[in-house]
Amino acid sequence: MLRNIGLVWLRDDFRLKKNLALIEATKNHQQVVVFFLYKKKKFENQEAQNWWVRRSLEEFKKKLIYFNINLEIIKTETYKSFFDHLFLKKNFSIYWNRVYEPDYIKFDQYLSKNLREKKIKFNIFKGNILNEYHEVKKNDGSPFKVFTPYWRNAEKFYSEKIPKKDKNIKKLKTKISFFKNSINESELALKNNWSNKFKEIWFPSEERALIELKKFLKARISNYSESRNFPYTLGTSKLSPFIKHGQIHVETIWEECIKLKNAGVGKFLAEIGWREFNHSLINHFSYMLKGNYSKKFDNFPWEKNSKFFKAWKQGLTGYPIVDAGMRELYSTGWMHNRVRMIVGSFLVKHLLINWKEGEKYFKNSLLDYNEANNVSGWQWVAGCGADAAPYFRIFNPILQGEKFDKDGEYVKKWVPELKKVPKKFIHKPWELKDVNILKLGFDYPLPIVNHEQARSKALSAFKKI
């Protein structure tokens, strides 16, 4: 047992189970303080996440009190300035779990070097991932660029080294405060209160994540491979914001899944696999966070069109499935994966707007935003990513709607002005000539671009590169 204080830097780990940094700190110290660093600037461009983090801090703080551990929130401009100040104290050891984003990994190196020089004890643990990104490589030592062989190897690698039994957090005898400048989570509210409505829909906590997982495994996983494509059906787990903020560890998901002998398990774990693959990609090819993975897209003739971009964001493009998706995102902070692909494709191919604009908008609006999945998801859609959908395969928003929202239920839920439109026209309301049902251009916009024309324009733009 060490005599000094154990500090735990909380990042994306709002859980007790499999929180290795926290478990180790309570094993080694009689007094532990968990701290969260809040950079206001970062959250100004991640408003949805600001809401989730604020609620998570509130929940987690209550949970930690039982263990006699304080959770302290400190506002800082940069992580470096906070730690430079902290280095002046010496009466602590420090623990944290890895976040698999290149900036965090780089900062871990800076921090480790300084802590070592100052002879302050520290320990870094595996974060919310199955395999460390450098563990899964091709035989020649290079990183995988294609998903299928990556996942075949990653799955095998992980199942052969599944960790031993979980350790638990120890309840401590005394609770202490460490940072004089800590603040209350209520001070983290942003000026824009658009995200306040999420409180009716989402309940960010570790307990809730486990409940959602169990409900999904009991009722939905057997049909997952099929139903995951239909946005009106609750076919997926909706665990993504919980995974992003670490309310559930992907190892827990894996463990619960492999207990089942069920057809959907393989497909579901493969989606967790895509998340692993994306984390591997951004760490091995970190330049893709700033630009195209495939360099030939650097010359792509993107267009700037603020009118189109605004219509896309507001769900007013005149293409019902696109508008429904964008409105689902605005209203709930989440969008179904099939629809993310459709709206993404529409932005980059029909409107020829750079995927980075869409990426930025999603970053601000998604509760599950994470750098790896968002950047890779957008580059997959745009055709410039690793193992991406080819650019020339252009989603037809009418056919996509007719295939995955056959009865138009999803569209009618999010675009209520189309409620009375008959099924036959729900994905192409411009063909409906009955103005008593819908006055196009008045009740609902005319399509901002013509599908066929936009398609050929996109293909000729692609030919230029």
Ligand X SMILES: Cc1cc2nc3c(=O)[nH]c(=O)nc-3n(C[C@H](O)[C@H](O)[C@H](O)COP(=O)(O)OP(=O)(O)OC[C@H]3O[C@@H](n4cnc5c(N)ncnc54)[C@H](O)[C@@H]3O)c2cc1C
**Binding interface with ligand X (CB under 6 A):** 228, 236-240, 243-244, 271-272, 274-275, 278, 337, 340-341, 344, 362, 366, 368-370, 373-374, 377-378, 381
Shorter beta-carbon distance to ligand X: residue 234 or 440: 234
What DSSP designation does 346 have? I
Min CB(163)–ligand X separation in Å:
20
Min CB(236)–ligand X separation in Å:
3
Query: Which is the catalytic residue, given 271, 409, 417, 430?
Result: 271
Amino acid letter for position 85: H
CB 206 within 8 A of CB 16: yes
Min CB(274)–ligand X separation in Å:
4
7 forms bridges with which residues in the sheet? 33, 94
Shorter beta-carbon distance to ligand X: residue 172 or 260: 260
Min CB(291)–ligand X separation in Å:
16
Token output for 261: 């002998």
Shorter beta-carbon distance to ligand X: residue 70 or 332: 332
Q: Is 334 a catalytic residue?
A: no
Q: From the centroid of its chain, how far is CA 415? A: 25
Tell me the chain's radius of gyration from C-alpha atoms: 24
Residue 223 CA to residue 235 CA, distance in Å, equals 8
Shorter beta-carbon distance to ligand X: residue 176 or 211: 211
Q: Is 380 a catalytic residue?
A: no
Min CB(235)–ligand X separation in Å:
8
Q: Is 337 a catalytic residue?
A: yes
Instruction: Output the residue with the shortest Cβ distance to ligand X.
Output: 377
Provide the 10 A C-beta neighbour count for residue 464. 8
Query: Which is the catalytic residue, given 274, 312, 334, 380?
Result: 274
Min CB(126)–ligand X separation in Å:
17
Helix, strand, or coil here: 71?
strand
Min CB(335)–ligand X separation in Å:
7
Helix, strand, or coil here: 14?
coil
Token output for 69: 């551990």
Residue 83 CA to residue 87 CA, distance in Å, equals 6
Among all chains, which residue has been given the structure tokens 């930025």?
Answer: 360
What 3 state SS string does 36-59 have? Answer: EEECHHHHHCCHHHHHHHHHHHHH
Min CB(379)–ligand X separation in Å:
9
What DSSP designation does 429 have? G
Shorter beta-carbon distance to ligand X: residue 13 or 368: 368
Helix, strand, or coil here: 152?
helix
Shorter beta-carbon distance to ligand X: residue 210 or 440: 210
Q: How far is CA 394 from CA 150, 360, 373, 383, in A?
A: 26, 22, 21, 10
Strand (E) or helix (H) holding 128 = none
Shorter beta-carbon distance to ligand X: residue 409 or 417: 409
Q: Is 271 a catalytic residue?
A: yes
Shorter beta-carbon distance to ligand X: residue 240 or 292: 240
CB 253 within 8 A of CB 239: yes
* Residues whose CB falls within 8 Å of the CB of residue 92, separated by 6 or more in sequence, listed in order: 4, 5, 6, 7, 120, 178
Residue 284 CA to residue 391 CA, distance in Å, equals 23
CB 401 within 8 A of CB 411: yes
Min CB(238)–ligand X separation in Å:
4
Shorter beta-carbon distance to ligand X: residue 70 or 345: 345
Strand (E) or helix (H) holding 6 = strand 5-10
CB 357 within 8 A of CB 347: yes
Query: Which is the catalytic residue, given 355, 357, 359, 370?
Result: 355
Token output for 213: 């997982």
Q: How far is CA 194 from CA 59, 241, 244, 262, in A?
A: 21, 18, 21, 40
Query: Which is the catalytic residue, given 68, 131, 223, 337?
Result: 337
Query: Which is the catalytic residue, given 202, 312, 334, 378?
Result: 378
Closest by Cα among 394, 392, 382, 395 to 294: 382
94 forms bridges with which residues in the sheet? 7, 122
Residues designated as active site: 271, 274, 302, 337, 355, 378
